[in-house]
Chain A
Amino acid sequence: MSSQLVQQYYRADKLPHIWCPGCGHGILMRSVSQAIHNLGLDKDKVCIVSGIGCSSRAPGYMDFNTLHTTHGRALAFATGVKMARPELEVIVVTGDGDATAIGGNHLIHAARRNINITTIVFNNNVYGMTGGQYSPTTPTGDLGTTAPYGNIDKSFDIATLAEAAGATYTARGTAYHAQQLIKLVENAIKNKGFSLIDAISICPTYYGRKNKKGSVVDMMNWLKDHAVDAKVAQKLPPEKLEGKFLIGEFKNVTEPEYTEEYQKIIERFQKER
């Protein structure tokens, strides 16, 4: 199945990818292409936009309309593409630093507008491309090359951030829960509005090594052991959730979509003529 997916949705001549052995990003990228396949989208009508960082190399391998932009700005470029051609399914692939540090302003405003863009944050808790500096999602106390004495920042919950800013679909998945992630991406794309998935990856090369998280398998097992489904969590007492994080769908509602609302303004004048 995988090789078929590669043949159908990837630029095989651009592979192998640049990601390190054991990096979770490949699984996340596969989930995106599998979801596109399951939804039966026309490749010519899908546009994948990214910023800068490890995550943002994904579009180069994927056989769609692809745009690799500047650091943090993927959502701003994507907004232009979506405004100009609302019929395109616009998907943004970004990282935790790209989306919530340098691109944080674009993230909250794209969510506020509820523009029909699906954002998948490949969240590996670290700046990987530049060699392991702490990011806005590095847990407090953890080490990074720029946090040699432990990170004193508090970390972002990206899904909650997007929800508070107005996203109409939010979810979290992980590289371990690959099948669930495919379904989440499908639902995010189906949502006619701003969707965000906080997709937890693993970075064994920098984050894992620096913080003594063990092997790739150990890091995958950590995801398995610490993720609790949001629906299950509702029935659990607080002490059972200590040290855990939630996965699954958090929000899925319908609200007016930005490009459709703008189209209504245009149509108002077309009627007047």
Chain B
Amino acid sequence: MKKNNIKLMQGNEACVEGAIAAGMKFYAGYPITPSTEIAEVSAQKLPRVGGKFIQMEDEIAGMATAIGGSLAGLKSMTATSGPGFSLKQENIGYAALAEIPVVIVNVQRSGPSTGLPTAPSQGDMMQAKWGTHGDHPVIALCPSSVKETFDLTVRCFNLAEKYRMPVFLMLDEVVGHMREKIEIPDASEIEIYDRLKPTPGDENYLPYKVEEGQIVPAMAAYGDGYRFHVTGLIHDESGFPSNSTEVAQTLMTRIMKKVEDNINDIVTYEESNTDDAEIILLSYGGTARSAKSAMKKAREMGLKVGMFRPITVWPFPEERVKELAKQAKSIIVAEMNYGQMVLEVERIAKGTTDIYHVGKINGEVISPDEIFSKIKEVL
């Protein structure tokens, strides 16, 4: 371990470090608390690596401009928080339908509306899934530490490039502003995935045709010589709009299936002490740290408590949670909202276990004691 690679930094800073390590060359965004450091550090670092930063006139433009940069060939990112996440939704849908790789970071704060701008929350989890109109594929990752923020930002870029879609990094204010020790891995140790490009000079290139053995269509950049068309309308393999119900069915099914058929590649999670657990704590992001602490305390007292932490929150680790629901007597979902991912757990468990919720909507983090109290109540 090289000593100079060990740093003390915030989650928000680690996010930018990860993005640059993944090959980010373009950032477009609008300042909003508590994500601002992501814009500030991007503005500082990008020109030094030959990349570009632009502060747009609003959140909507930040999203649109990031998509434009990606279409012209650069790995692009934007970052925001609650109110901005709402504003970005329309163009997130555009990126989903037009299949444009782009990373969107949401450092969640208390809402709705302006809410508590400097206080943490995990209140946008369902918005990440359903925020934009219409059916669309979603990938969202949720880090619990500064180091994991670095790693998952890299992974967000890789998934965006691999599956040609917008990918969310769902931070919360706790992880975004927390300072921790982090060892920045050497570039050679970081796995990078670059988008599939058409074979140079391919005169039959169709921008939305999936070739044999590929997951998504190859993506040319504007200026590469292919003169293709991109639209937010339903389109056929040529990229041009179509009113055909058959074309709509084919396209919509394909963009949903590219995620659905690759769950094992996309879904990651962490579990501990689940083998013999009678009670399983399910928590993610900053709150998972409190849950872990509560689990340790319970184990010290000889209580059979385990923990499951989804790292990929969308698509949700459905298969594993289904198994755990059959095994455990109860699952306690702890999250900083009024009850969002707990709905997903209830849907998956289908009544096979008792499900409890520890939620909080006052801008305060959930303490280990609050989760521990629930464990005692459930016992």
Interface residues of A (CB under 8 A from B): 14, 43-45, 47, 49, 59-60, 63-70, 73, 76-85, 87-88, 105-106, 108-109, 262, 265-266, 268-270
Contacts and interface: CB of A to CB of B under 8 A. Distances in A.
B65 A70 contact: no
Contact of B54 (A59, A77, A79): A79
A47 B227 CA distance: 8
Contact of A84 (B26, B64, B225): B26
Contact of A269 (B48, B56, B70): B48
B228 A65 contact: yes
Given A44-B224, A80-B67, 8 more contacts: A44-B227, A65-B226, A65-B227, A67-B229, A76-B61, A84-B74, A109-B56, A266-B50
B45 to A, nearest CB: 10
A87 B66 CA distance: 18
Contact of B57 (A81, A109, A265): A109
A81 B58 contact: no
B356 interface: no
Given A70-B90, A70-B94, A80 B223 contact: no
B131 interface: no
Interface in B15-72: 25-26, 28, 47-48, 50, 52, 54, 56-58, 60-61, 64-72
B62 to A, nearest CB: 8
A80 B71 contact: yes
Contacts of B54: 79, 83, 262
The winner among A65, A70, A79, A106 for most chain B CB atoms within 10 A is: A65
15 contacts: A44-B224, A65-B226, A67-B230, A68-B232, A70-B91, A80-B65, A80-B68, A82-B68, A83-B68, A84-B25, A84-B71, A88-B72, A108-B57, A265-B47, A268-B47
A101 B90 CA distance: 17
A78 B68 contact: yes
A43 B222 contact: no
B125 to A, nearest CB: 25
Contact of A76 (B26, B60, B221, B240): B60
Contacts of A105: 57-58, 61
A60 B65 contact: no
A80 B70 contact: yes
A109 B55 CA distance: 11
Contact of A69 (B25, B70, B232): B232
CB-CB nearest 10 A-B residue pairs: A80-B68, A84-B72, A76-B64, A76-B61, A109-B57, A80-B65, A68-B231, A80-B69, A77-B68, A65-B222
Nearest to A107: B57
B241 interface: yes
A80 B64 contact: yes
B190 interface: no
Interface string B195-237: 0000000000000000000000000011111111111110000
Contact of B223 (A59, A85, A268): A85
B72 A73 contact: no
Contact of B52 (A63, A83, A269, A270): A83
A66 B67 CA distance: 14
Contacts of B28: 79-80, 83
B237 to A, nearest CB: 14
A82 B329 CA distance: 57
A127 B179 CA distance: 52
A78 B66 CA distance: 10
Contacts of B47: 262, 265-266, 268-269
Contacts of A84: 25-26, 52, 68-74, 76
Nearest to B241: A60
A80 B102 CA distance: 12
B223 A65 contact: yes
B225 A70 contact: no
Interface in B59-103: 60-61, 64-74, 76, 90-91, 94
